[in-house]
């Protein structure tokens, strides 16, 4: 029967014309492809013009000798990258950025997680969440200016400490080696913790109640529930938060630039500040572009490692 | 007149008005946001007096502005008229070939007797002059007249007078010198002043790499600076309201360009009555009287030079009417000898300069290679925040390390 049916099909194809059918199929495919290209074209154009082209162009610039008005079209090979390896400001900037990344991952995450757990289902939850989230909607530069005055020698912080300490409190929070980085990090945490808290609250809301209730009935303590159920189920949210924090840490600029302006040392020199300083202040565009490429490469690498870790965690928890 | 005719007449009239307005508007691009209103006032005056209204376009900060000009040069599309700085970055700008020589403009300025021929050199690169002064400021010591009067002081005529006056002020409970690290760039001011008062030759040598930043003349300057700090002669360097602090009476002597006179007046003091100025005397009385001269240039691109309206705008700026309008709007002088002095202090300093034959010295900021400015001034700020000789030694070592590296490559 099958052979007869196949023969019938073959006969049918012969009668209609196999080539005609194939041509019609190809035409439909071409039309579908053209439609898809037409619909994608605006988005593809915008992504290429706004995102891809500047990135590719920046990589190109990093291989030139462009400095102020000269060297725009002169090829430097890997000269700018070699210069990075011997520049001690780059080493300082890299070390400071590492501190920033570590702080921007751990502190907002721990505080955001704590606040999210603390504020869930408590009276006035909405008000508290709003208050904690407000700093996030302020421009980082405005926040930096605000805290610049808070930390001023005659600012609120010293005034407040003066209520408890003897004599005049005259700490130059933004003028001392040992206080400037913690002070700016505290400002960063103040501004970023609201968003982290909201993201974690969304993650918590998405966790099903069944496994938690089952574990509770089986006698699990709240910590055990958190450790073995909530935390693993929250890991996708935590991954998103850490990726955002890594990006924020590596690109830290506004707060450091504004609050560290008057500070002379290299403590506030992050990779992003170093890049801006070289490119915009000195006009070493090619060298600045090389720093930007390094930042991009490091961020991509770290994010890729995070994604691998997440895959690993997912497999372990299944 | 029919309805259609009325409409046609209105359209033609509006078109003619627009056309005449567009032809007379000249753009001036700059990074001096703090003079934005003053520049527009001046631009409006240009419109009223000549028909060529100057429209100012301010960039938020010098870095963004430099980036704009650098990229404009790369695409061969510079603004017609814009401001810049003297020093190495000025020479770099001229090297692009996109800036128009202003030799004819200067010939006319000097022929009218408006400007001193010597000033032309200040804006010259090679055989041609490429800029006219946007402002011309001498760096002098502004002083609080009430503080001086309360201690019975006159303006110091010698270095010894200055040191004695500082001691008397301190003894009377008044901090003699006002200096801060505000905005990150001010750290060089007192270093520059002490260097030109103690060893102007070494000061000049610092800028071509022939004198080291850890050499004896520099160490001697730091020793004076540190000693004055240890004696409590300076105000808190962490202030971020320098001008207002001086106007409030903090510090008796404030070393700054005379462009700050207008700012101090805006903060509440009246020039000539509440505060005046003197040229700081040299340590060695045999040295000629000198002041730091700062003068941002106003330049035209090659395309701007070809535009008659733009050229007319620039010519108005350096005319007597233009200088007076600018002085009234901003309190600045552009050095036009036939214009009125913008305030009593500039008038007095002009008289002092004429009497003493005071010579002009390049400001450290413009004289030092542009690539070193940022790191160097950060080191000076570091010293001001911890003004001991131990810090000074570290600062000198860091400065010289960067200096050596730069001059080895350039």
B3 domain-assigned: no
- Following DSSP, what letter does each residue of B161-227 receive, concatenated? HHHHHHHHHHHTT---EE---GGGTTTHHHHHHHHHHH-HHHHHHHTTTSS-TTSHHHHHHHHHHHH
Count Cβ atoms below 10 Å from residue B95 Cβ, excluding itself. Answer: 15
Interface of B with A (CB under 8 A): 63-64, 66-67, 70, 73-74, 89, 92-93, 95-96, 181-184, 187, 236, 238, 240, 370-371, 373-375, 378-382, 385
Question: If you count them, how many residues does chain B have?
Answer: 410
* Interface touch B182/A262, C-beta < 8 Å: yes
A residues 34-93 lying closer than 8 A (beta carbon) to B: 66, 68-70, 72, 89
Q: Could you tell me the CA-to-CA distances from B385 to B132, B183, B232, B244, B380 in Å, in that order? A: 38, 14, 13, 20, 9
B117 domain-assigned: yes
B10 domain-assigned: no
Nearest CA in chain B to A261: B184
**Which residue in B141, B167, B119, B208 sits closest to B410, CA to CA?**
B208
pLDDT at B17: 46
pLDDT at B410: 82
| B371 vs A contacts (CB less than 8 Å) | 282, 284
Q: DSSP 3-state helix, strand, coil percentages of chain A (rounded to 5)? A: 80, 0, 20
Place of tokens 């300093």: B349
B299 shares its domain with B315: yes
Contacts of A189 (CB under 8 A, 6+ apart): A103, A107, A108, A111
Q: Could you tell me the CA-to-CA distances from A228 to A233, A317, B338 in Å, in that order? A: 9, 10, 85
Residue A72 has pLDDT above 90, yes or no: no
B299 shares its domain with B289: no
Q: Domain residue spans in chain A?
A: 2-54, 79-317
Angle at B5 between CA B3 and CA B6, to 5 degrees: 65
> B66, B95, B183, B185: best mutation site toward chain A, by most A Cβ within 10 Å?
B66
Domain count, chain B: 2
B20 domain-assigned: no
The residue-averaged pLDDT of A172-197 equals 92
On whether the pTM is more than 0.90, the answer is no
pLDDT at A6: 61
| A263 vs B contacts (CB less than 8 Å) | 381
Query: The tokens of B176 are what?
Result: 């003699």
B114 shares its domain with B201: no
> B238, B369, B386, B401: best mutation site toward chain A, by most A Cβ within 10 Å?
B238
Distance from the Cα of A34 to chain B's closest Cα (Å) equals 36
B403 shares its domain with B390: yes
Class of the CATH-defined domain A79-317: mainly alpha
pLDDT at B231: 98
pLDDT at A312: 81
B151 domain-assigned: yes
B191 shares its domain with B302: no
* Interface touch A68/B92, C-beta < 8 Å: yes
B111 shares its domain with B194: no
For B214-250, what is the HEC assignment? CCHHHHHHHHHHHHHHHCCCECCCCCCCHHHHHHCCC
Of the candidates B73, B183, B378, the beta carbon closest to that of A69 is on: B73
B43 domain-assigned: yes
Contacts of A281 (CB under 8 A, 6+ apart): B63, B66, B373, B374
How are beta strands B290-294 and B25-30 bridged, if at all? Answer: unpaired
B310 shares its domain with B397: no
| CATH number reported for the structural domain that contains residue B283 in this entry | 3.40.190.10
Residue A261 has pLDDT above 80, yes or no: no
The continuous run of DSSP H or E covering B292 comes out as: strand B290-294
Q: What one-character DSSP code corresponds to residue A50?
A: I
Distance from the Cα of B371 to chain A's closest Cα (Å) equals 5
pLDDT digits (tens, 9 = 90+) for B71-125: 899 888 999 999 999 988 899 999 999 999 999 999 999 999 999 898 999 999 9
Of the candidates A70, A172, A265, the beta carbon closest to that of B238 is on: A172
B153 shares its domain with B105: no
B316 shares its domain with B391: no
| A69 vs B contacts (CB less than 8 Å) | 70, 73-74, 92-93, 95-96
B29 domain-assigned: yes
Where does a domain end: B281, B303, B337?
B337
Q: How confident is the model at residue A263 (pLDDT cuts 50, 70, 90)?
A: low
pLDDT at B20: 46
The residue-averaged pLDDT of A149-164 equals 94
- List chain B residues with pLDDT less than 50: 16-22
Distance from the Cα of A266 to chain B's closest Cα (Å) equals 9
B321 shares its domain with B177: no
Domain interval for residue B309: 25-136+295-337
pLDDT digits (tens, 9 = 90+) for B187-217: 999 999 999 999 999 999 999 999 999 999 9
Interface check A279 vs B, CB under 8 A: yes
B145 shares its domain with B242: yes
Rounded to the nearest integer, the mean pLDDT of chain A is: 89
B289 shares its domain with B387: yes
């Amino acid at each position: 029967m099958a052979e007869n049916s196949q023969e019938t099909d073959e006969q049918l194809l012969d009668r209609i014309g196999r080539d005609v059918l194939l041509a019609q199929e190809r035409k439909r495919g071409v039309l579908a492809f053209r439609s898809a290209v037409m619909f994608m074209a605006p988005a593809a154009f915008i992504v290429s013009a706004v995102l891809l082209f500047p990135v590719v162009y920046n990589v190109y610039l990093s291989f030139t000798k462009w400095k102020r008005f000269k060297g725009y079209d002169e090829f430097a090979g890997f000269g700018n990258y070699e210069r990075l390896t011997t520049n001690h400001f780059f080493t300082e900037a890299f070390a400071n950025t590492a501190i920033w990344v570590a702080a921007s991952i751990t502190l907002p995450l721990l505080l955001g997680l704590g606040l999210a757990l603390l504020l869930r289902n408590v009276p006035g939850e909405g008000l508290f969440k709003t208050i904690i989230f407000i700093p996030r909607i302020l421009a980082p530069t405005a926040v930096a200016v605000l805290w610049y005055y808070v930390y001023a020698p005659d600012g609120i912080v010293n005034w407040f400490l003066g209520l408890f300490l003897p004599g005049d409190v005259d700490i130059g929070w933004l003028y001392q080696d040992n206080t400037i980085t913690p002070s700016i990090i505290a400002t960063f945490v103040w501004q970023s913790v609201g968003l982290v808290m909201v993201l974690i609250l969304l993650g918590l809301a998405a966790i099903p109640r069944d496994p938690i209730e089952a574990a509770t009935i089986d006698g699990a303590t709240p910590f055990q529930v958190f450790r073995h159920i909530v935390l693993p189920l929250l890991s996708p949210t935590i991954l998103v938060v850490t990726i955002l924090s890594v990006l924020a840490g590596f690109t830290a600029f506004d707060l450091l630039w504004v609050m560290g302006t008057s500070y002379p040392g290299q403590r506030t020199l992050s990779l992003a500040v170093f890049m801006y300083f070289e490119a915009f202040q000195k006009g070493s565009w090619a060298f600045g572009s090389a720093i930007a490429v390094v930042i991009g490469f490091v961020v991509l690498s770290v994010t890729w490692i995070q994604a691998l870790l997440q895959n690993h965690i997912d497999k372990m928890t299944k | 007149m029919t309805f259609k005719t009325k409409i046609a007449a209105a359209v033609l009239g509006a078109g003619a008005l627009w056309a005449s307005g567009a032809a007379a508007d000249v753009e001036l691009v700059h990074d001096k946001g703090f003079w934005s209103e003053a520049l527009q006032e001046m631009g409006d005056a240009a419109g009223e007096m000549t028909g060529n209204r100057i429209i100012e376009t301010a960039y938020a900060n010098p870095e963004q502005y430099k980036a704009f000009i650098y990229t404009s040069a790369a695409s061969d599309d510079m603004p017609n008229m814009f401001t810049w700085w003297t020093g190495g970055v000025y020479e770099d700008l001229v090297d692009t070939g996109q800036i128009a020589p202003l030799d004819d403009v200067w010939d006319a300025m000097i022929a009218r007797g408006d400007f001193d021929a010597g000033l032309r050199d200040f804006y010259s690169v090679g055989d041609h002059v490429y800029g006219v002064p946007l402002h011309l400021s001498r760096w002098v010591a502004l002083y609080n007249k009430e503080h001086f009067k309360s201690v019975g002081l006159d303006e110091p005529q010698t270095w010894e007078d200055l040191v004695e006056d500082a001691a008397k002020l301190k003894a009377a409970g008044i901090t003699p010198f006002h200096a801060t690290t505000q905005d990150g760039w001010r750290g060089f001011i007192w270093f520059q002043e002490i260097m030109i008062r103690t060893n102007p030759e070494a000061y000049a040598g610092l800028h071509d790499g022939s004198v080291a930043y850890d050499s004896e003349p520099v160490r001697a300057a730091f020793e004076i600076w540190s000693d004055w700090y240890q004696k409590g002669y300076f105000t808190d360097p962490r202030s971020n309201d320098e001008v207002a602090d001086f106007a409030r009476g903090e510090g008796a002597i404030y070393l700054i360009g005379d462009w700050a006179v207008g700012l101090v007046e805006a903060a509440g003091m009246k020039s000539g009555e509440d505060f005046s100025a003197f040229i700081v005397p040299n340590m060695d009385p045999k040295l000629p009287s000198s002041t730091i001269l700062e003068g941002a240039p106003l330049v035209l691109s090659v395309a701007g030079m070809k535009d008659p309206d733009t050229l007319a705008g620039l010519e108005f700026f350096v005319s007597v009417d233009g200088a007076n309008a600018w002085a009234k709007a901003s309190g600045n002088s552009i050095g036009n000898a036939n214009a009125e002095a913008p305030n009593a202090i500039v008038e007095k300093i002009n008289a002092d300069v004429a009497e003493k034959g005071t010579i002009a010295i390049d400001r450290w900021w413009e004289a030092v290679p542009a690539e070193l400015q940022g790191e160097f001034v950060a080191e000076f700020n570091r010293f001001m925040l911890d003004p001991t000789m131990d810090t000074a030694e570290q600062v000198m070592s860091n400065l010289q390390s960067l200096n050596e590296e730069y001059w080895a490559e350039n």
